[in-house]
Amino acid sequence: IEDATKVLIENDKIIDIGKELTIYNGVDTGIFLCSPSIFDALEESINNGNDTLSGGIRVLADRGKMRTLDVSGKFWIDVDDTKALKNAQSLLCRQLVKKTDGPVSKVLNRHISILISRFLLKKNITPNQISVISFIMSIIGAAFLSMGRYVSFVAGGVLVQLSSIIDGCDGEIARLKFKTSQFGAWFDAVLDRYADALIILGMVYGFWLFHHNVIIWIVGFLALMGSLINSYTADKYDVIFRRTITTKKWKIRFGRDIRLFIIFIGALSNQIFITLVILSILTNFESIRRIIVLKNKYTNSFVEKWIDLKPSSLKSEQLLPGLKFQKTQHIQRTRRNGY
C-alpha cells in the first residue's frame, strides 16, 4: 500500500490523488478512461512542475471531472517488473480452481492442467479445440479398453485419466483468454457425455470379449445410466453445493473427475468388472441422494416463502428486500474515469 497511488473519494468523485496522501479511502488500480481533455490537464500540470499522470488527473479532479468506478473484490495487481508479472500469473492460475471441483481435480488434475494451460496460453488454440482434443483422447482410450487385454486396459486407463486432465484446460484457457461462452460450456458437456458412454461401453465389450459373461452388460448399463444421470443432476445440485462451501459445511462433490479416476485405477489393476460395479453403485446412489437433497431444499424454500407472505409476519425489509443497506468502511479500489 505504501507504493500505491492513494485516492480521496467523495460522492463517487476524486477529490485528491497522489502517493503522498495521508487521508484517503481508495487506491488507484491504474486503469483510465479519458477524453482528449486529459492532454490539456497534463500540460497544465507540467507547467505547475508536476509531470506525472497523477498530476494531470489531479487537475481534472479539481475541475470536478474525475469520477470513480469501485472494483473492490475484483482481481487486480500492480505489475511493474518481471517478479510482479510472475506473481500476477501465479495468482491468476490459483483462481482457476473452481468451488465445485471434486477431490481428484483439486489434488491431482488441476495441478497438471494449469501447467498445460500456461503453455497453451501462448499458442493459437481455442477452448473448443481443447474440448475436441480431450474427446479424441477419450475415444482412443475407449478403443484400447475394448481390446480386452491387460496391456490395452493400462493404455486405455492412462488415456482416460489424461483426457480428464486435459478436459480442465478448455475452461482454464477460456477464463484466462476471456473467451468463456455458454455454447463452449454446453459443447464441452455434450462431448463429455459421449466420451463417458464410449469409455464404459469399451470396458464392457473388452471384458465380455474374453469372459463372455452376460452380467457385465447389465452392470455396464447401470454404470452408464448412473454416470449420465449423475452428470444431468449436477447442474442444479452445484448451485446448492456452492452455498454449502460458502457456509463452510464442506462436502465432497462426486463428479466426473472421480468417475474417470476410478476407471483409471480399475484399468491399472485389471479389475474391470469390479470397477463397473463400483461405478453403478456410487453414481446411482449419488443421483438419488441429490434428488433427496434438492427435494428438501425446494420444499423448505416453499415453506419459508409461504410463512413470509403471512400478513402477521411481514416486516418492512421483507416487503422491500432490495432496500436493505449496510454501511461499511473500507478502502475502495477504483478505476478512474475522466473527461
pLDDT for 289-315, tens place per residue?
988 888 887 777 655 565 555 555 445
Instruction: Answer yes or no: is 139 within a domain.
Output: yes
Same domain flag for 50 and 105: no
Closest C-alpha to 156, from 45, 56, 272: 272
Distance, in Å, from the CA atom of 177 to the CA atom of 183, rounded to the nearest integer, reads 16
Residue range of the domain that includes 25: 6-70
Considering the domain architecture, whether residues 139 and 89 belong to the same structural domain is answered as yes
What is the structure's pLDDT at 305? 60
Task: Fill in the DSSP letter of residue 88.
Answer: H
Same domain flag for 13 and 116: no
Residue 286 belongs to some domain of the structure? yes
Checking if the pLDDT of 331 tops 50, the result is no
Query: Is the domain of 53 the same as that of 114?
Result: no
Q: What is the pLDDT of residue 322?
A: 44
**Do residues 56 and 101 both lie within one domain?**
no
Do 26 and 89 sit in the same domain of this protein? Answer: no
- For residue 196 the three cell numbers come to 463417458
pLDDT tens column, 158-208:
999 999 999 999 999 999 988 999 999 999 999 999 999 999 999 999 999
pLDDT at 307: 59
- Are both 64 and 123 inside the same structural domain? no
Grid cell in block for residue 178: 476471456
| Beta-bridge partner residues of 278 | none
Do 54 and 196 fall into the same domain?
no
Q: Quote the pTM value.
A: 0.74
pLDDT tens digit sequence for 221-272: 999 999 999 998 887 777 766 665 554 554 678 899 999 999 999 999 999 9
- Residue finishing a domain among 43, 70, 97: 70
Is residue 160 included in any domain, yes or no? yes
Domain-embedded: residue 312? no
Please indicate, yes or no, if residue 311 is contained in any of the structural domains: no
169 and 52 inside one domain: no
Number of domains in the chain: 2
DSSP per residue, 148-216: -SHHHHHHHHHHHHHHHHHHHHHHHHHHHTT---HHHHHHHHHHHHHHHHHHHHHHHHHHHHHH--THH
pLDDT value at residue 81: 81
Residue 94: partners with Cβ closer than 8 Å, 6 or more residues away: none
Burial letters for 132-159: b for 16+ Cβ neighbours within 10 Å, e otherwise? ebbbebbebbbbbbbbbeeebbbbbbbb
Q: Is residue 53 part of a domain?
A: yes
End-to-end CA distance of the chain: 27
| 228 and 285 assigned to the same domain | yes
CATH of the domain at 115: 1.20.120.1760
The answer to the question of residue 328 being in a domain is no
Specify if 1 maps to a domain: no
Q: What is the pLDDT of residues 63-108, one digit of tens each?
A: 888 888 888 878 788 787 888 888 888 888 888 888 778 899 999 9
Same domain, 148 and 192: yes
64 and 91 in a single domain? The answer is no
Angle at 47 between CA 44 and CA 53, to 5 degrees: 60
The pLDDT score that the predictor gives to residue 236 is 72
Q: Which of 47, 70, 93 delimits the end of a domain? A: 70
Share of the chain above pLDDT 90, in %: 50
Q: pLDDT category, 136, cuts 50, 70, 90?
A: very high
Mean pLDDT taken over the chain: 85
For the ranges 45-54, 210-219, 304-313, the one whose mean pLDDT is highest = 210-219
